[in-house]
Amino acid sequence: MRLVLVGPPGAGKGTQAVFLAAHYSIPHISTGDIFRANIKNETELGKLAKSYTDAGNLVPDSVTNEMVRDRLTWDDAQNGFLLDGFPRNVAQAEYLRAILAEKSTPLDAALEFSLENSEIIRRLTGRRTCRGCGSSFHIEFEKPAVDTICDKCGGELYQRPDDSEEVIANRLSVYADQTAPIISFYRNEGLLITIPALGEVSEISTRAIAALSAAVN
């Protein structure tokens, strides 16, 4: 299975990516994880990526494309992969199509998670992160025992700058301008599968597997 996940920030792509990668026994390739590792280690790439993500903007194609090309040459990706966070625009989608065509290994599907902006804002503004261990909580859906203290390590919980309502609104605007057009791209390619991303995690996972099974032979 060669699969791309698409949808707005906060639609739950990362959570579903972990499940789907395990279900299909393929690597979960997340550009977000790569960027976070570089930011944590304060590499030059990390500093550059952080300057964009802190403002709620997308990392430029030039920083991302060759990273993805290289990752897809690893042994674990030869029998399939799940891309989470790439492509983010039509130019990247065309780039991905070209590098897969070189190996005669086209995508099987692009799975879209659909969710209203009001629900996205509710989900993201409620997130809290531990300064100590990095664990995530939510003021509605996954409350800590004490509002500002991590259940796991006792560290301070805080709202990340990119989870503020202002930054989220900017992220959604950027998504609408730059990323949403890839939905039309993959629809025209005959690869788009759309499912609603509202409900329990397990419900969405079941919905995704059923949709992929029906569409991909």
Q: Please identify every residue annotated as catalytic.
A: 13, 88, 127, 160, 171
What lies within 8 Å, CB to CB, of 196 at 6+ separation is 113, 114, 115, 204, 207
Name the pairing type of β-strands 157-158 and 127-130: antiparallel
Cα–Cα distances (Å) from 5 to 53, 81, 83, 112, 128, in that order, read 20, 11, 6, 6, 25
SS3 127: strand
* Contact present, 71 and 28 (Cβ < 8 Å): no
Q: H helices within the chain, ranges in order?
A: 13-24, 31-40, 44-53, 61-71, 90-102, 117-125, 165-174, 181-188, 201-215
**How many Å apart are CA 181 and CA 185, to the nearest integer?**
6
Residue type, 36: R
